[in-house]
Chains A and B, each alone.
Chain A
Amino acid sequence: MENKSYFSGLFSGIKSLCTGLKVTGRELFTKKVTERYPENRKTNELPERFRGVLVMPHNEKNEHKCIGCGICEMQCPNGTIKVESEMVEVDGKKKKQLVRYIYDHGCCMYCMLCTRACPQGAITFAPEYECAVFSREALIMQLNQPDSKCEEKPAPAKPAVAPKPAAAAAESQPVAGNATPDAAPAAPAADSAADEKMAKLMAAAKKAADNAAAEKVAAEEAAAKAAAAPDDAELKAAAEEAAAKATKLATAAENFAKKVAEAQQ
């Protein structure tokens, strides 16, 4: 207001007041948002992201996704979470396994740091709101169900990671080459399925190579077309582009194959 003259300040003030009146005037007739709680407890639906209580979803086979890493416990500012895990031997390999996941609802401040930090997406907040109990002890709950176990991931990372370079290569992005290092360290991670994984990787490499070949054919076709109509600048540019793409793809596929070979050894 200070930098405006008397009248322009007056009129801009009136204008903004009218805007306010318009907003509240519209609000007077909109649907009211008040929930009549005790009456509507059967039908009351809370927003999806409502943070009521921490839960660990289990699938129908009584399996959860928690690997017992304890990152959530470290993240929690209030010491709400206690992850009790043990080392077990599976197929001759030592593996961490969740025993009990203890959550103290009385300490939780619903900051959601635990769920954000979880690498497996094993925990989440449920829109529960009738959480009152008669003692503090009743607020301490175990989130993993009795006799539940960690969900066995059939070759965990591979189906997700392995097709990625191929897909990326098909899209002819320069990232294709970069994507392979992600896949390579993933290979030793799961020893039991290493062979299977290798096979998949090799298949992906082959696919990338095929893609490159296909692109090369397309590039050649485009070049032929461009040669047939030498005056058409557009066609020529397209042919050049296709050729560049094919070369790039070929290099990416070669790199990929090389990396796979390295990983094999």
Chain B
Amino acid sequence: MFDFNIVTQWLDTLLMSFLPAWATVLIECVLVALVIITLYAVFAIVMIYMERKVCAWFQCRLGPDRVGPWGLLQVFCDVLKMMTKEIVNFRNTDQLLHHVAPFLVITASMTTFSCLPWNKGAQIIDFNVGVFFFLAISSIGVVGILLAGWSANNKYSLIGAMRSGAQIISYELSIGMIMLAMICLTGTMSFSEICQQQENLGWNIIRGHVPAVLCFILYLIAGNAECNRGPFDMPEAESELTAGYHTEYSGMDFGYYYLAEYMNLFICAGIAATIFLGGWAAPLVPGWEQWNHIMLYVPGAVWFVLKVFFVLMLLLWERWTFPRLRIDQLLTLEWKYMLPMTMTLLVVMALCVSFGFVWN
């Protein structure tokens, strides 16, 4: 397995050899920021194209195919349109909060994005309480959404934001419980260690067998809710709230919400791939020496991206199948069904681990 630490250490020693320490750190920070922003933009474009195509296939359509071959340039045109659109300022809105809100949302999204382990050694934010940090930072997004709804001085926005707040805070409980159950299994909160462990011992979804599979399914449901996506997209239910919390946004301000929504989906899938499907760990089968040998030639980043897109397909399948829930149904689902289930799963997982009932 290719270890990305070789590259980073080589770069570090190279810069240190002729630059002072502060300059080295500065250059490295700028490089890392560039990489994050580039990856963020690239994956957002891929995601939007994929979403439109896959949703079309689920509905027996072809999807965008007019701009460029197979409609490949459609997303670029959309981005161009978004960037050249006028940003409208309304009277009686809280201008400052109105413009700060999208940045809060995109900041939360980008910070969580940098928690993803791309390859062995290729992780931007990695420390011993990585999962905890991820959960904490991802809740900043809801502040942005609430601010957006409040500052717009529009009843649709406010209702949308309130719904979104209720929804995200509720479903974060389930996500937290699921994460706890999986941490129970791994015994560590660091994403890199979780991945390394899965390479050595097997994927968590196989190690944890029944409770892990159930956790995975519940995570897909809660993750879709966390990303404000259908069937849980009533914060922006267009039939009743025009567009929910981002009704009053135009141009790139709206673009940030759009971007953040898709990237949150990517992050959600990325975390699912890391926690359950082994992250960058190749699918190794004990005993199949030949197979393992070939699989280890494939870089970890490829495995990671493949797994993320597999989870994304599952999420899109879910999103384009189920009808939208009402807000009371949504909260009923969380508080009466999901939360008891995840709590039970946490206990079951803890029992499994303490009695050694896991596959290693």
Query: What per-residue 1/0 map shows which CB atoms of B52-68 lie under 8 Å from chain A?
Result: 00101111111001000
Distance, CA A27 to CA B54, complexed state (A): 11
Residues in A neighbouring B60, C-beta threshold 8 A: 27, 30, 32-34
- Which among B58, B62, B321, B337 is the interface contact of A34 at CB below 8 angstroms? B62
Q: Assuming A10-B337, A21-B317, A36-B65, is B322 touching A28 (CB within 8 A)?
A: no
Question: Any chain A CB within 8 A of the CB of B320?
Answer: yes
- Which among A20, A23, A32 is the interface contact of B62 at CB below 8 angstroms? A32
Residues in A neighbouring B58, C-beta threshold 8 A: 24, 27-28
The range of chain A's interface size is 10 to 19
Residues in A neighbouring B337, C-beta threshold 8 A: 10
Q: Is the interface of A mostly helix, strand, loop or mixed?
A: helix
CB pair A32 B61 closer than 8 Å: yes
Distance, CA A201 to CA B217, complexed state (A): 78
Distance, CA A114 to CA B201, complexed state (A): 75
Chain B residue nearest to A18 in the complex (CB):
B321
Question: Any chain B CB within 8 A of the CB of A230?
Answer: no
Query: What per-residue 1/0 map shows which CB atoms of A10-40 lie under 8 Å from chain B?
Result: 1000000100110111011010111010000
Distance, CA A17 to CA B321, complexed state (A): 8
- Which among A25, A30, A32, A34 is the interface contact of B317 at CB below 8 angstroms? A25
**Chain B contacts with A in 284-333, Cβ cutoff 8 A:** 317-318, 320-322
CB pair B320 A24 closer than 8 Å: yes
Distance, CA A10 to CA B333, complexed state (A): 10
CB pair B321 A24 closer than 8 Å: yes
Chain A residue nearest to B57 in the complex (CB):
A28
Distance, CA A30 to CA B61, complexed state (A): 10
The range of chain B's interface size is 10 to 19
Q: Assuming A27-B58, A28-B58, is B322 touching A17 (CB within 8 A)?
A: yes
CB pair B321 A20 closer than 8 Å: yes
Residues in A neighbouring B322, C-beta threshold 8 A: 17, 20
Distance, CA A32 to CA B56, complexed state (A): 9
Residues in A neighbouring B61, C-beta threshold 8 A: 32-34
Q: Assuming A10-B337, A36-B65, is B317 touching A27 (CB within 8 A)?
A: no
Residues in B neighbouring A23, C-beta threshold 8 A: 321
> B232 to chain A: closest CB distance in Å?
14
Distance, CA A87 to CA B322, complexed state (A): 64
Distance, CA A32 to CA B336, complexed state (A): 40
> A20 to chain B: closest CB distance in Å?
5
Distance, CA A30 to CA B58, complexed state (A): 9
CB pair A27 B65 closer than 8 Å: no
Residues in A neighbouring B318, C-beta threshold 8 A: 21
Residues in B neighbouring A17, C-beta threshold 8 A: 321-322
> B230 to chain A: closest CB distance in Å?
12
Chain B residue nearest to A29 in the complex (CB):
B57
> B144 to chain A: closest CB distance in Å?
31
Residues in B neighbouring A25, C-beta threshold 8 A: 317
- Which among A10, A20, A32 is the interface contact of B57 at CB below 8 angstroms? A32
Residues in B neighbouring A34, C-beta threshold 8 A: 56, 60-62
Q: Assuming A32-B57, A33-B60, is B317 touching A24 (CB within 8 A)?
A: yes
> B284 to chain A: closest CB distance in Å?
29
Distance, CA A174 to CA B57, complexed state (A): 57
Residues in A neighbouring B59, C-beta threshold 8 A: 27
Query: What per-residue 1/0 map shows which CB atoms of B237-273 lie under 8 Å from chain A?
Result: 0000000000000000000000000000000000000
Binding site for B on A (CB under 8 A): 6, 10, 17, 20-21, 23-25, 27-28, 30, 32-34, 36
- What are some 15 contacts across the A-B interface (CB < 8 A)? A6-B336, A10-B337, A23-B321, A24-B320, A27-B58, A28-B57, A28-B58, A32-B56, A32-B57, A32-B60, A32-B62, A34-B60, A34-B61, A34-B62, A36-B62
Given contacts A24-B317, A24-B321, A34-B62, 19 further A-B contacts (CB under 8 A): A6-B336, A10-B337, A17-B321, A17-B322, A21-B317, A23-B321, A24-B58, A27-B57, A27-B59, A27-B60, A28-B54, A28-B58, A28-B317, A32-B57, A32-B60, A32-B61, A33-B61, A34-B61, A36-B62
Q: 6 nearest interchain CB pairs? A: A34-B62, A24-B321, A20-B321, A34-B61, A24-B58, A32-B62
